[in-house]
A and B are shown apart, each in its own frame.
Chain A
Amino acid sequence: MDLEYGPEYDVFRKQVRAFIEAHSHLAPPSSDRAARPSSKAVEWQKLLIEHGYTARTIPQAYGGYGAEPDILQSRIIAEEFARARVPGGLSNQGISMFVPTLLELGTEEQKRRWIEPTLKGDVVWCQGYSEPGAGSDLANLKTSAHIENDEFVVNGQKIWTSTAKQADMIFCLVRTEPDAPKHGGISYLIFSMDTPGIEVRPLKTMTGHAEFNEVFFTDVRVPMHQIVGQRGQGWFVANATLGHERGMLGDPDALENRLEALIALMQEERLGQGRAIDNPVLRDRLVALQAEVAAMKYNGMRILSNSLRGEPGGMAKLIVKLQSCELAHQISALAIDAMGELGILYHHSPREREGGAWQWNYMFQLGLIIGGGTAQIQKNIIAERGLEMPREPKLAKISDAAKATADMPRHKQGSA
């Protein structure tokens, strides 16, 4: 057990700290999370790239900083920005998911055309994966693209498309080979959101906001070269990015920050004669969550060490999305309980605390438990990949069994 990063990393940490101290006045406020980055956020992003504090390992030819990958340096940057509560580089689906995909599977021309403007916030992307009939069973997607006059012609509907309103471009899974097996008939297309035939409808959620959209495609024409990977390889291409998304949803620094905010809330909020934290039941729940956050923090350090040794993350990594999302949700739940009746205030009500953020988080985090691979899909992955448990029998067998069951005589129900 050696938790020191070593002297050269201590020097690096000091550099990061010094940078943050000298420049944090230029950073956009943490609340500035608009999908289309403000000019302040764009300037900040450019400054961060210039110093290698974001897009660090992306080659300079594509607009990155061009450093060799170094897990500890990346970790130190994340730690120091989180500690200082200064926003780090832009984080959106274009940067987190599309850019890594292009780096892995894009053509040279695609990399040169798209990565730099995406990194600099000039081009905003949205992701067209899920459909009303293709959620957990994503490969069942029906949005089609047939070929007409050397163009793909896209028809269908996507859902859960965040930032579709603001996005310039979409990376989108469509079925190009309807006769191929389900995973083999998909292609990964990229096209402008200004293309005729695209309609975006905001999807209002339980939070009262429209964090997502539905996107409808009617005869949307896409040039044949706007494809990443080959025709029919889209499933493989998309899976390269889904891994990045799952990594994104389990950030131990974020959990620690939420917990600290909860502790501060419970120390400030008055309940009767005392503070919320003086209530032994609420305090007990707080300490229980603190222990869980600590466990996830050290679990994260273990994953980090595994990757430093070049070993796979194993079970420690497989469980991160499930556990982190659940834990974040419970932190918000306790905040609401600690506020008592004040906990219901929302929609800019008088006496509302922190702009209703805790209620919004509580609801939105339920969305995160469902999105990006539902908790149930996560459990399948943990069981089948982590514990090597037997898979579900194939669909054909189940439908045979269902037929056999349907043919069986049944007792009538509810006959009086």
Chain B
Amino acid sequence: MDFGLSQDQQMLRDAVARCLADTCPLDHVRECTERDNPLSDKVLRAVQDLGIPGMLVPEEHGGLGMTLLDAAIVAEQLAYAVAPVPFLASHVLTPIALSEAGSKEQKAHWLPKIVSGEARIGVAISETIEVRDGAGVSFAAGKLNGTALFALDFEGADAFIVADSGGRLHLVGAKASGLKAIALTTIDRTRSVGELRFDGAEAEPLADDGGAAVGRLRAAGRVILAADSLGAGQAMIEKAVDYAGQREQFGRLIGSFQAVKHMCAEMAARHEPCRSLVWYAAHAFDAVPTEASLVACHAKSHTGEVHRFVARTSTEVHGGMGFTDLIGLHYWFKRIGFDRQVLGGPETVRAEAAALQGWIKAA
């Protein structure tokens, strides 16, 4: 019995943290996000050197064959450093989709390229959760038609894995004729999303997709977003505590005022159990399949709620400074905002959790 990270996992966490502390200080994030394309080649190279793109790729395809908990550990650190690099779709969802649902040829073609960094694939499954603005994709006779919103890790993707309205997954090249890719600008400049408009774009289905793969992607994606939220929340709490321990008003450190102290305590009290929930959700994805989808919903919705509270409260502890761009607190605030909405906000995800338990009668 050991509920927690193994020694290897602690080493992984520390290695990623050290690497990001070196390569991704806030000044670098700021510099990147003020450009048109905020993606950081420098950090991406560092992430590549750590072997992160191959983490979830099976060993037979040159990857490390690691678990979603390992990926969650990385996600937490990426968020802690507000690293402007692709991860969720390109390094987590794509390897899972291809290894669980791809054909032999698809695996052999793409997985080694993902490991080496030669190829990056974005993922668009938003419409299987919630349809906005009449979006939706249909697949017939080898062609995709319609619109997919919120394609993740959009910028610089060589291809996309797209879910059709039946939840089947398809691979489409980013440069396929009949595909128009339009970047969407979000609050969070450290991650990129876009819109894919298909007009008879040629695509190949993931061959062995029995229909279950999209559910696996939703679960994995939610766990990783929850882990991201955890890392961003951790950073915001630490920053609030540091600031309250330095800033003086009325001749006292503001952290000695109970009003301020209790804000910090409440953040910590609500945040700390999230860590165990995220760890368990990640563990369940690989080890307890019967619980995986439900506990992924819980992790996603609960961290969404807790870290919205953390994001606003940490900002308030910083007073006026928190509201400025000077100390850059807003990078984490926005990262948390992104994590909360993407792949379903808390209410949507909770409705799905209820349905999974049979609490919603079929209409």
A-to-B contact residues, CB < 8 Å: 1-6, 9, 72, 277-278, 280, 283-284, 286-288, 290-292, 294-296, 298-299, 301-302, 304-306, 308-309, 315-316, 319, 322-323, 376, 378-380, 382-384, 386-393
Decide: A319 near B272, CB < 8 A? Known: A302-B4, A379-B262: yes
Q: Which B residues lie within 8 Å of A319 (CB)?
A: 268-269, 272-273
Q: Which A residues lie within 8 Å of B253 (CB)?
A: 390
Q: Which A residues lie within 8 Å of B359 (CB)?
A: 277, 283, 286
Number of residue pairs spanning A and B whose beta carbons lie under 8 angstroms apart:
165
The answer to whether B1 and A390 touch across the interface, beta carbons within 8 angstroms, is: no
Decide: A389 near B272, CB < 8 A? Known: A287-B301, A291-B277: no
Decide: A295 near B301, CB < 8 A? Known: A389-B241, A389-B244: no
Q: Does B295 contact A (CB under 8 A)?
A: yes
The answer to whether A322 and B256 touch across the interface, beta carbons within 8 angstroms, is: no
Q: Which B residues lie within 8 Å of A390 (CB)?
A: 244-245, 253, 255-256
Number of residues on chain B facing chain A (CB within 8 A): 50
Q: Which A residues lie within 8 Å of B276 (CB)?
A: 295, 298-299, 301-302, 316
A-B contact pairs, 6 of them (CB 8 A): A2-B3, A288-B301, A302-B3, A380-B258, A383-B261, A391-B256
Q: Does B280 contact A (CB under 8 A)?
A: yes
Alpha-carbon distance between A286 and B357 when the two chains are bound, in angstroms:
12
Q: Which B residues lie within 8 Å of A277 (CB)?
A: 359
Q: Which A residues lie within 8 Å of B245 (CB)?
A: 389-390
The answer to whether A308 and B1 touch across the interface, beta carbons within 8 angstroms, is: yes
Question: Residue on B with the closest CB to A319?
Answer: B269
Tell me the residues in window 245-283 of chain B with beta carbons closer than 8 Å to chain A beta carbons.
Answer: 245, 252-253, 255-256, 258, 261-262, 264-266, 268-270, 272-277, 279-280, 283
CB distance from A11 to the nearest CB of B (A): 15
Alpha-carbon distance between A383 and B253 when the two chains are bound, in angstroms:
14
Q: Does B168 contact A (CB under 8 A)?
A: no
Q: Does B36 contact A (CB under 8 A)?
A: no
Question: Residue on A with the closest CB to B359?
Answer: A277
Point out the residue from A1, A284, A292, A376 that lies within 8 Å of B2, measured CB to CB: A1
Q: Which B residues lie within 8 Å of A384 (CB)?
A: 261
Q: Which B residues lie within 8 Å of A316 (CB)?
A: 272-273, 275-276
Tell me the residues in window 272-326 of chain B with beta carbons closer than 8 Å to chain A beta carbons.
Answer: 272-277, 279-280, 283, 287, 295, 297-299, 301-302, 305
Q: At the interface with chain A, which of B10-18, B199-207, B348-356?
A: B348-356
The answer to whether A1 and B6 touch across the interface, beta carbons within 8 angstroms, is: yes
The answer to whether A295 and B262 touch across the interface, beta carbons within 8 angstroms, is: no
Point out the residue from A298, A378, A387 that lies within 8 Å of B277, measured CB to CB: A298
